[in-house]
Chain A
Amino acid sequence: MSDVAARVKKIVVEHLGVEEDKVVENASFIDDLGADSLDTVELVMAFEEEFGIEIPDDAAETIQSFGDAVKFISEAA
């Protein structure tokens, strides 16, 4: 697993309180990991802080799954 993926996974596990093995490529934050819409905003805020990037609102809306987040951050960071 890439460094980015490991760091993203750590944030997701901590924030949503889910088991690490549930956080897989296609895991949807809302449908699979129990996040509500406010959680997804907070996850994006946490990603921004962790990676020192800015994720604009329209991009944030496309980040629905763990895989989406890793892909977006890998390209942006």
Chain B
Amino acid sequence: MFDLTGKSALVTGASGGIGGEIAKALHAAGANVGLSGTRVEPLEALAAELGERAFVLPCNLGDADAVKELPKQAIEAMGGLDILVNNAGITKDQIFMRMSDEEWQQVIDVNLTSAMRLCRAVMRPMMKARWGRIINISSVVGATGNAGQVNYAASKAGMVGMTKSIAYEVASRGITANAVAPGFIATAMTDKLNDDQKEAINKQIPASRMGSPAEIAAAVLYLASDEAGYVTGSTLHVNGGMAML
């Protein structure tokens, strides 16, 4: 249904469960995909799996200079940059009273500041093309808050405000900016939880289960499509009803 043939997409955090699935979905719709992340091995494995139209673009998002170079490298590799998916994120959970400035700053730098820098860098090619899609992966906790995640929740709420403001500025140029806010998604990270913990989580979710990375990827694919051209500044919550926002 959604055809991205001829479009080029950059996905950060593509070495992770959700990012990898997003890259696969965009690729399956015909897009060229730039796979960014810090761990090269999983990126290369994913690129090998995808075959043609996949490019490995390693980048440490905590490094401002590297972030500056990333869009240029993506454009060089793919010949353009039409879709940006800011998916990379880290957590440094800690009860607030004990949270250090470093724990705060690292999470803000990677999750929010690097996303801002990438958004800014893609403005020029997207403005010229009169077409662009910015999709920022936020989180349900950006809207609801979560104990132990003051830094993470702030970064994810920050992404929403940033996304809306960008959407205002460039809507007249055919560029949309939206956020996707996943709830609990089954990934390598949640596999580590024991059955009791998983059950406690599922009790909070009307759908009684965690979501899959593919369900996040489907939301991203929609927002990247031509069909979603009239959707901008919105946050698409994909959380099994856990928070109805």
User: Chain B's interface: helix, strand, loop or mixed, by majority?
Assistant: helix
Bound-complex Cα distance A38 to B128 (A): 12
A45 to B172: give the CA distance in the assembly, Å.
Answer: 17
Q: Can you name the residue of chain B whose Cβ is closest to the Cβ of A36?
A: B172
Interface string of A5-27 (1 = CB under 8 A from B): 00000000000000000000000
Closest to A39 in B: B172
Q: Which residues of A contact B170 (CB under 8 A)?
A: 38
Q: Which residue of A lies closest to B170 (CB)?
A: A38
**Counting CB contacts under 8 A, is A61 at the interface?**
no
A42 interface residue (CB < 8 Å to B) = yes
Question: Is there a chain A Cβ closer than 8 Å to B169's Cβ?
Answer: yes
Asked if B124 contacts A45 (CB within 8 A), the reply is: yes
How many residue pairs between the two chains, A and B, have CB atoms under 8 Å in the bound complex?
A: 10
CA distance A51 to B80 in the complex (A): 22
CB of B66 within 8 Å of the partner chain: no
- CB of B75, distance to nearest CB on chain A (Å): 15
Q: In the bound complex, what is the Cα–Cα distance between A62 and B173 (angstroms)?
A: 24
Q: Contact between A38 and B172 (Cβ–Cβ < 8 Å)?
A: yes
Cα distance, A12 to B173, chains bound together (Å): 17
Q: Which residues of A contact B173 (CB under 8 A)?
A: 38
- Of all chain B residues, the one with the shortest Cβ separation from A41 is B127
**A45: B residues at CB distance < 8 A:** 124, 127-128
Alpha-carbon separation in the docked complex, A41 to B123 (Å): 11
Shortest CB distance A12–B (Å): 17
**Contacts of A36-76 to chain B: CB distance below 8 A:** 38, 41-42, 45
Q: Give chain A nearest CB distance to B43 CB in angstroms.
A: 32
Which of chain B's residues have a CB closer than 8 A to the CB of A41?
127
Q: Taking the nearest CB of chain B, how far is it from the CB of A45, in angstroms?
A: 7
- How far does the Cβ of B30 sit from chain A's closest Cβ, in whole Å? 29
User: 10 interchain pairs (CB within 8 A)?
Assistant: A38-B127, A38-B169, A38-B170, A38-B172, A38-B173, A41-B127, A42-B127, A45-B124, A45-B127, A45-B128
Contact surface of A with B, Cβ cutoff 8 Å: 38, 41-42, 45
Q: Shortest 3 CB-CB distances between A and B: which pairs? A: A42-B127, A38-B169, A45-B124
